[in-house]
Amino acid sequence: EADIYQTPRYLVIGTGKKITLECSQTMGHDKMYWYQQDPGMELHLIHYSYGVNSTEKGDLSSESTVSRIRTEHFPLTLESARPSHTSQYLCASSDPRTSTGELFFGEGSRLTVL
């Protein structure tokens, strides 16, 4: 069973608020990812990291930012939330040493911006 945790699971906030979505994994994985998924739509990669102090933007442009100060922790921040940021955010990690490199996903954070 994967050990990757996201908080909060659900968040409803007003426009203009700053929010941080937390993601932690206890598997020692170097690679971590943030995906954004709207209902019934595909997952879009918005950020990824190959290790401590490594962060890259994904294929879908996002106003969010990420940091990777510790291997196990990969938080995502929105400085000023807007209704267009309403979505589900999924964090994932992978171990490049495995033959498949499969992703292990957290439960997701469902964000609603009013």
Partner 1 sequence: GQNIDQPTEMTATEGAIVQINCTYQTSGFNGLFWYQQHAGEAPTFLSYNVLDGLEEKGRFSSFLSRSKGYSYLLLKELQMKDSASYLCAVNSWGKLQFGAGTQVVVTP
Residue pair 4/104 in contact (Cβ under 8 Å)? The answer is yes
- Name which of 17 and 110 has its Cβ closer to partner 1: 110
Q: Which of residues 24-83 bind partner 1 (CB under 8 A)?
A: 33, 35, 40-45, 48, 58-59
DSSP β-ladder status, 10-13 and 109-113: parallel
Residue 81 and residue 100: Cα distance in Å, rounded? 36
23 binds partner 1 (CB under 8 A): no
107 binds partner 1 (CB under 8 A): yes
* Binding residue for partner 1, selected from 19, 32, 81, 103, defined by CB under 8 A: 103
